[in-house]
Amino acid sequence: MVQKSIILVIFWLPQAIRQLLIWIYWIQIKEYRFDRFRLFFSSISGRNNTEVNIIVFKIATLILALILRESQNALILLFTLFDLSVLIDIKKETLRKPVFTQRAKRIFITALLIALLPPMFGFITGELGTLHFIFAEILLVISPFAGVLWTQPIVQKIKSEEIKIAKEKISKVSPIVIGITGSYGKSSTKEFVAQILSKKYEVLKTTGNENTEFGIARKIRDFLEKSTEFFVAEMGAYKQGEIKKLTAIVKPSVAIITGIEEQHLSLFGNLENIKKTKFELIEALPPDGIAIFNLSNAYCLELAERARELSTHVKVLGYYVAREKKDNRFKDADIVSRVISADTHSIKIKVHFNEDEKTIKTSLTGLHFIENITAAILVARLFKVSWKDIKKACGNIKLPEKTMSVSKLESGVILIDDTHNSTPRAFESALEYLSLFKDKRKVVITSGIIELGAKSDEIHERLAKMMSNSVEKVFLTNPDALTSFKKGLGVNSNKLVFSNDREELSLKIQKELDQKNGVILLEGRIPLILFKDTDLKI
């Protein structure tokens, strides 16, 4: 009896470990935040990715086994069937698992020990049976969150210590800090500002996802040098008060708000909260600080007016991109750019700043980046970077990784990788760039845009309308946007390719690679599993 109980636990363990790995993976992806995980779980794709159907099926099957008073032999057979999913994942190399940081390890061990309590209790009492595994399966769902909760004080303590070190270090070095926030364009603006300023100064910038308290504090701790003259910090947020926390670490003297839209609306609650949160960066400026706004964005224009009303000490500046030749609405903007020409490799702009008028060729791919590089040019001129250096930097400007990265595959297909992130503005601009490829078969592979709240259907429908006539195929990886995409494509809804079967979807994507005259846009965070057996390496 004891031997059979041990065997029963051994057969239960593989599928239990697999489930824990998947759940902790997604909790980690959502930054251990219950608000983000809750929104993710409330979506169809979230429930699919956390395999809720399989979990319900497992528990229902065990309840049925309890009712029928099945033997331990039947349970061993049942768990063997569930373990098949583990073998399949191992064979296909598709098992999702978290990055095993110290916190992830603690959460995993905690979760596994909690889930093991019912089987261990049954084993000790000599009555191990179906009921114990029903409770164990329920605990598999709950226990990862218990791990998140108990590790939170440890994380907070470490964070406080690192923030203290960062504050002391940045205070000693005293670089000019440029804070950058917005619903879109943060990363690219940060890159452009840092690259152009570095022609004259020693510059440190945040990289990747270092737009949180942890990320910014660690960047300062590990990389800020005595010689650093500028620190360019991207600042992200999901709710009010989070930008304020970041500004308390770095104390910016220059602030840039790149644009406001509905990104992460479901977390902020409403657009006004988004505006208030981004404005926290302006409120943190010293009396002699500089506040810079994208006047091409209506909400930024509103915030610029608010900044002027709040303080007569902070210098309020604006940048603007004229869309048409007769667009003279913002002659009073401090810097104005106008696109002269654009192709698939570069964009040429004319820049007006004070009495200067300069023609600059950039190596950018995407018209929406002109707003961001205009902001960077404005900052560069404020700090006396020469036009010669600005032109040189713009001609070799580098975009953040997986942001409108253009490459050519061996098959001849042109790949546009925009998988770093996706916002409504970025998606629209990527489609505009796609239209520059004349006489080519255009394909879009997308996951849609997450956390748009009540605006999700409206925005996805609008994006689908943009693709309706110009794109031959639209591959959708997220079921949450399926209805709105169909509606937006209208009579061309037959262009939409969707399947819950990832292998089937992957095969269909592979076929597109055989289209020698194709251009493929990857927009948003797409499951890497889809590209495992294709020539697309993202």
Instruction: Verify that 250 and 285 share a domain, yes or no.
Output: yes
Does 208 share its domain with 112?
no
pLDDT at residue 401 tops 90: no
Q: Is the pLDDT of residue 431 over 80?
A: yes
3-state SS assignment for residue 257: strand
Within this chain, do residues 231 and 279 fall inside the same structural domain, yes or no?
yes
User: What CATH code is carried by the domain that includes residue 472?
Assistant: 3.90.190.20
- Give me the pLDDT at residue 2, please: 60
What is the per-residue pLDDT across 458-511, written as a single tens digit (0 to 9) for each?
Answer: 999 999 999 998 899 999 988 999 999 999 999 999 999 988 777 778 788 887
- Please check whether residues 418 and 517 belong to one and the same domain: yes
Task: Provide the mean pLDDT of the chain.
Answer: 90
Q: Would you give the distance in Å from CA 30 to the centre of its chain?
A: 10
Pull the structure tokens for residue 499: 């399947």
pLDDT at 535: 53
Q: For the segment 167-207, what is each residue's pLDDT rounded down to a tens digit?
A: 999 999 999 999 999 999 999 999 999 999 999 999 999 99
Percent of the chain with pLDDT over 90: 63
> CB-based contacts of 181: which residues, under 8 Å, 6+ apart?
234, 235, 236, 237, 243, 255, 256, 257, 258, 278, 281
Whether 166 is covered by a domain: the verdict is no
Among residues 297, 329, 361, which one ends one of the domains? Answer: 329
Q: How far is CA 481 from CA 268, 417, 428, 487, in A?
A: 20, 20, 16, 10
In angstroms, the CA 17 to CA 490 distance is: 44
Let me know the angle formed at the C-alpha of 209 by 396 and 153, rounded to the nearest 5 degrees: 160
Q: Provide the residue type at 216 as one letter.
A: I
* Residue 159 counted as domain residue: no
Where does the pLDDT of residue 537 fall: very low under 50, low under 70, confident under 90, or very high at 90 and above?
low
Give the CATH number, domain containing residue 224. 3.40.1190.10
Of the listed ranges 225-239, 274-288, 307-321, 524-538, the one predicted with least confidence: 524-538
Q: Report pLDDT digits (tens) over 355-400.
A: 899 999 999 988 889 999 999 999 999 999 999 999 999 999 998 8
Domain range for residue 446? Answer: 405-531
| Cβ-contact 187, 133 below 8 angstroms | no
Residues 140 and 194 both lie in one domain: no
Strand partners, 179: 233, 255
The whole-angstrom separation of Cα 442 and Cα 151 is 47
Measured distance CA(209)–CA(66) in Å, rounded? 48
Nearest to 297 by CA among 256, 354, 267, 259: 259
Q: Is 163 within a domain?
A: no
Integer CA distances (angstroms), 388 to 189, 254, 377, 397, in order: 20, 23, 12, 14
> What pLDDT band is residue 532 in, cutting at 50, 70 and 90?
low
Residues 105 and 185 in one domain: no
Do 104 and 251 reside in the same domain of the chain?
A: no
Whether 165 is in a domain gets the answer no
Q: Is residue 371 part of a domain?
A: no
Alpha-helical runs (H) found in 450-534: 456-468, 482-489, 502-512
Render pLDDT for 55-106 as a digit per residue (tens, 0 to 9).
999 999 889 888 888 777 788 888 888 888 888 878 777 788 999 999 999 9
Whether 184 and 317 map to the same domain: the answer is: yes
Q: At residue 305, does pLDDT exceed 60?
A: yes
Per-residue pLDDT, 162? 95
What is the value of pTM for the model shown? Answer: 0.89
476 strand-pairing partners: 446, 498
**Is 68 part of any domain?**
yes
Is 60 exceeded by the pLDDT of residue 1?
A: no
Residue where one domain finishes, among candidates 154, 186, 214: 154
pLDDT, one tens digit per residue, over 9-31 is 888 999 999 999 999 999 999 99
On whether residue 37 sits in a domain, the answer given is yes
pLDDT of amino acid 159: 94
* Domain final residue pick, 282, 309, 329: 329
**Residues 198 and 321 placed together within one structural domain of the fold:** yes
pLDDT at 411: 77
Domain co-membership, 52 together with 192: no
Tell me, yes or no, whether 311 lies in a domain: yes
Overall domain count for the chain = 3
Q: What are phi and psi of 76, to 5 degrees?
A: -60, -45
Classified as helix, coil or strand, 180 is: strand
**199 & 318 share domain:** yes
In this structure, the answer to whether residues 144 and 185 fall within a common structural domain is no
